[in-house]
Amino acid sequence: MLMLMLSVDSSASPASVCLSEDRKIIADYYLNTGFTHSQTLMAMTESVLKISGKSAEDIDVYAVNSGPGSFTGVRIGVSAVKGMAYALDKPCIEVSTLMSMAYHFLGNHAVICACMDARRQQVYNALFKADGERIERLCDDRAISIEALLQELDTQEGEIILVGDGAELVYQSTDHDRIKLASPQHRYQRASSVAMAAYDLYNRGEVVSPAALMPRYLRLSQAERERNAKLSKKEGSL
Nearest CA to 103 out of 85, 125, 128 is that of 128
- For 102-129, write each residue's pLDDT tens digit: 999 999 999 999 999 999 999 999 999 9
Residue 223 has pLDDT above 50, yes or no: no
Whether the Cβ atoms of residue 25 and residue 78 lie closer than 8 Å to each other: no
Could you give the 3-state DSSP secondary structure of residue 232?
helix
Whether the Cβ atoms of residue 97 and residue 211 lie closer than 8 Å to each other: no
Q: Give strand pairing partners of 208.
A: 92
Distance CA(75)–CA(79), nearest Å, equals 6
| Whole-number pLDDT of residue 2 | 87
Burial of 232 (0-12, 13-18, 19+ CB in 10 A): exposed
Report the 3 state secondary structure along 24-93. Answer: EEEEEEEECCCCCHHHHHHHHHHHHHHHHCCCHHHCCEEEEECCCCCHHHHHHHHHHHHHHHHHHCCCEE
Burial of 38 (0-12, 13-18, 19+ CB in 10 A): middle
Domains annotated on the chain, with CATH: 4-97+189-225 (3.30.420.40), 99-187 (3.30.420.40)
Residue 6 has pLDDT above 50, yes or no: yes
Residue 194 has pLDDT above 80, yes or no: yes
- For 22-75, write each residue's pLDDT tens digit: 999 999 999 999 889 999 999 999 999 999 999 999 999 999 999 999 999 999
- For 120-166, write each residue's pLDDT tens digit: 999 999 999 999 999 999 999 999 999 999 999 999 999 999 999 99
Of the pLDDT bands very low, low, confident and very high (cuts 50, 70, 90), residue 219 is confident
